[in-house]
Amino acid sequence: MDGGRAAAGGAGPSPVAASPHSTAPSSTSVDVSSFTHTPCYCEENIYMLCKELMRIGVADLMGTDLYVVFISNEEKKVPLWHQKASNSDDGFICWDYHVICIQVKLNLIGVVFCFSLVCTANIKAVHCVSCSISCYFLMCIWKSRRNKGEVLGLVWDLDSDLPFPSPFSQYVSNAIQPLAFGDSIYRRLFRVVHAPLFLQSFASDRSHMKDPAGNWIQLPPKYDPIVAADGTTNNLHEYIAMSVDDVADLESMVNDVYSNNHGVVVNETILSRFFSRLPHP
């Protein structure tokens, strides 16, 4: 995200009434301060987050349960809520782009992990599943909910004031607020990239953070710039650029996300359905 072009509070489009900040704690939360974070370098922050989640065993060793999601649009005006950089009580801000990580667990341990977060964060939820309930019963519940289009996944956003991580449904409802701006220039698009491909293919020389005179707009991370496995030194623009014309049919995107280095582009209408259609265990 380019901090020089982020509009907080009333500087962006007029937002709809945002949901109140969630006060429900996450019983299995991870300390956000333990992750590398450089302001306005969200693409690199998420790159480093994916590697750390894999290293500490929260994610699959190869990152197969992780998806990097670039949020932008043709106008580079992306409204989001619950952002720490905002000056508004509801955390509203308008970025040129933002990057998050979505984790969709494809094993039973992950189902328990995600299910506990959903129950903890949802005030109206039925009491959390008892430890005495059999694994088989829990798996049946999970498959039933996924068949209904629900996503038992997690969203990792280092720049959000929502629980870290947040249940997918909570983050989408509170931070994204789908269709809040209808068919306007502010409608969000989501480039979803499978993490194993992203970690091999992404590169940035950070030139987007320099002014015409070569001065830093925002100070860069202290580690060396990220270079792709094939030696590419900069392709950030290929991930940020997206159009409504890039959105294909749902079935093909569910398959292509595992083979396209730059992922697939999903719109607000089918975002949840896309993640609910990812392969079952």
Query: d(Cα 97, Cα 182) in Å, to the nearest integer?
Result: 18
Please pick, among 40, 42, 50, 101, the residue that the annotation labels catalytic. Answer: 42
Per-residue CA distances from 7 to 89, 147, 267 (Å): 14, 38, 22
Contact 94, 100 (CB under 8 A): no
Contact 155, 100 (CB under 8 A): yes
SS3 for 115-140 is: HHHHHHHCCCCCCCCCCCCCHHHHHH
Helices 135-147 and 108-121, axial angle in degrees (round to 10): 70
Query: d(Cα 234, Cα 169) in Å, to the nearest integer?
Result: 33
Please pick, among 50, 90, 96, 98, the residue that the annotation labels catalytic. Answer: 98
Which one-letter DSSP state was computed for residue 173?
Answer: I
Residue 157 is among the residues annotated as catalytic for this protein: yes
Residue 230 is among the residues annotated as catalytic for this protein: no
Return the closest-CA partner of residue 161 out of 14, 7, 22: 22
Residue 60 is among the residues annotated as catalytic for this protein: no
Please pick, among 157, 159, 194, 262, the residue that the annotation labels catalytic. Answer: 157
Active site residues: 42, 98, 157
